[in-house]
Amino acid sequence: MPEHATPPPADNAPFSLTRYRFDRMELAGSLGDLGTLLPIAIGMLIVNGISSTGIFFSVGLFYILAGLYYRVPVAVQPMKVIGAYAIAQSLDASTVQAAGLLMAIILLVLGATRFMNVVARAITKPVIRGVQVSTGIILATKGATFILGTSPIQKAAEMAEPYLGVNTFLWLPAGIWIGLIFVALTLYLIDSRRFPAGIVVVSGGMMLGLLLSGGAPLAGVSLSLHLPKLLPFGFPGWEALSLAFLAMALPQTPMTIGNAVIANADLSREYFPEGDRVTPRALCISMAGANFLAFLVGGMPMCHGAGGLAAHYRFGARTAGSNLIIGSVFLILAVLVGPSVLKVVQLLPLSVLGVLLLFAGMQLCLQVMDIRDRRGMFTVLVMLCLTLASNLAVAFIMGFILSRLLQSERFSV
């Protein structure tokens, strides 16, 4: 256990603030997953037109409620299959809301019927590690594209840092120089308690963004009271519901079960043995509630995630205080800044988000080190290949089948 961490009370103990710390390490850890959360959120705000107040309000409240219930750090992330498809196809906000509603219903059924417990018992460790490694590689690769300036957002704008108006420096994309500096900074400070890497990277990135842009993204931002509207896009029609079910909810479900439920619960047990509330069934129900909330206020479909948890942990989160910190930040931005919140987050260079993603992905990949047999490692590598060639949902299903086959003495590698 790290030096700054003392064992929190057991989960069956009465509620106590002693299990929540609010020091600089918890603050640093709370910022660790912004590289996953912000790019998809920004993309859905710009392309799909969902509510910025609704996104930040629902994310903030989900962080806080999850921290209060689970009493250990818990990640909040966009549902990536839904987010990627919605952005790629430029779907309207109503269809995105339909996808969130359907995922809430699916997850509630899985959790309330306890079917998720049956599924969890059937999943072997190599399949869990395959999901974690595949997710880690996806996150790290995405981070690299932000640093190299080759992400879809940067390609469309033909600029390394489109929100800051910066492109090249000394014949190279500016993001490469920024990325190298912040990678080196993160490596140097990753275990520092005096200057936690998460705080230095995010605050330094924001100051750099302010300097490079001259504060232009903040033009027009004013503080006032903003509350999310209920059903800002109305109730989705049958056309939106059918498209959302076939194109987004169905492919998202296996990925959510594999990464946000099974792999996430396993990783949480490893990091926080005292956090016995983090069960597959509980994760399904909390995600269902979060997506009902997001549907009501016009936010984005959300989930927990092993990658996000790895990011929070790597940058210093050891108690649920990190959830309360980042949740409060999101809620304050939603209520005080409202529709202009997008301009604030655009101060953080994409290349800095890329650095956070890179380290989160590598941390998640390192979980594979406890797989020492050939059959298990073969399953992990096949799942990684399938993820890169297709998607994580396909890899999860095929990995489950492969692991079952390799349990038989008739099959060998």
Local structure of residue 218 (DSSP, 8 states): G
Tell me the C-alpha to C-alpha distance, in Å, between residue 195 and each of 95, 203, 321: 43, 11, 18
Segment 288-297 mean pLDDT: 97
Which band of pLDDT confidence, cut at 50, 70 and 90, is reported for residue 121? confident
Segment 384-396 mean pLDDT: 86
- Asked if pLDDT for residue 12 goes beyond 60, the answer is no
Query: Which residue did the predictor score with more confidence, 81 or 318?
Result: 318
Which band of pLDDT confidence, cut at 50, 70 and 90, is reported for residue 128? confident
Give residue 401's pLDDT: 92
Q: Report how far residue 403's alpha carbon sits from residue 123's, in angstroms, rounded to the nearest whole number.
A: 9
Give residue 88's pLDDT: 67
Chain centroid to CA 256: 12
Segment 99-121 mean pLDDT: 91
Among 125-134, 183-192, 215-224, 235-244, the least confident range:
215-224
Highest mean predicted confidence (pLDDT) among 68-77, 195-204, 244-253, 400-409: 68-77
Give residue 1's pLDDT: 42
Among 102-106, 234-238, 348-352, the least confident range:
348-352
Contact 145, 354 (CB under 8 A): yes
| Average pLDDT across the chain, whole number | 87
Write out 332-368 in H/E/C secondary structure: HHHHHHHHHHHHHHCCCCHHHHHHHHHHHHHHHHHHH
267-282 pLDDT, tens digit per residue, is 999 999 988 899 999 9
Q: Report how far residue 21's alpha carbon sits from residue 323's, in angstroms, rounded to the nearest whole number.
A: 10
Q: Report how far residue 166's alpha carbon sits from residue 390's, in angstroms, rounded to the nearest whole number.
A: 34
At 111, the amino acid letter reads: G
Domain boundaries, the chain: 17-367
CA angle 205, 57, 102 (to 5 degrees): 115
Q: Report how far residue 198's alpha carbon sits from residue 189's, in angstroms, rounded to the nearest whole number.
A: 9
Query: Which residue did the predictor score with more confidence, 72 or 143?
Result: 72
Tell me the C-alpha to C-alpha distance, in Å, between residue 192 and each of 20, 24, 198, 314, 320: 20, 11, 10, 12, 20
Bridge partners (DSSP) listed for residue 169: 172
Segment 154-163 mean pLDDT: 87
- Asked if pLDDT for residue 372 goes beyond 90, the answer is no
Query: Which residue did the predictor score with more confidence, 389 or 89?
Result: 389
- Asked if pLDDT for residue 312 goes beyond 90, the answer is yes
Highest mean predicted confidence (pLDDT) among 189-193, 218-222, 375-379: 375-379
Give residue 17's pLDDT: 60
Give residue 396's pLDDT: 86
Which band of pLDDT confidence, cut at 50, 70 and 90, is reported for residue 18? low
CA angle 239, 297, 61 (to 5 degrees): 135
316-343 pLDDT, tens digit per residue, is 999 999 999 999 999 999 999 988 888 8
User: How many helices, marked H, and strands, marked E, lie in the chain?
Assistant: 20, 4
- Asked if pLDDT for residue 101 goes beyond 80, the answer is yes
Which band of pLDDT confidence, cut at 50, 70 and 90, is reported for residue 75? very high
Give residue 2's pLDDT: 43
Nearest residue to 379 (alpha-carbon basis) of 140, 121, 123, 139: 123
Give residue 317's pLDDT: 93
Among 43-52, 178-187, 239-248, 261-270, the least confident range:
43-52
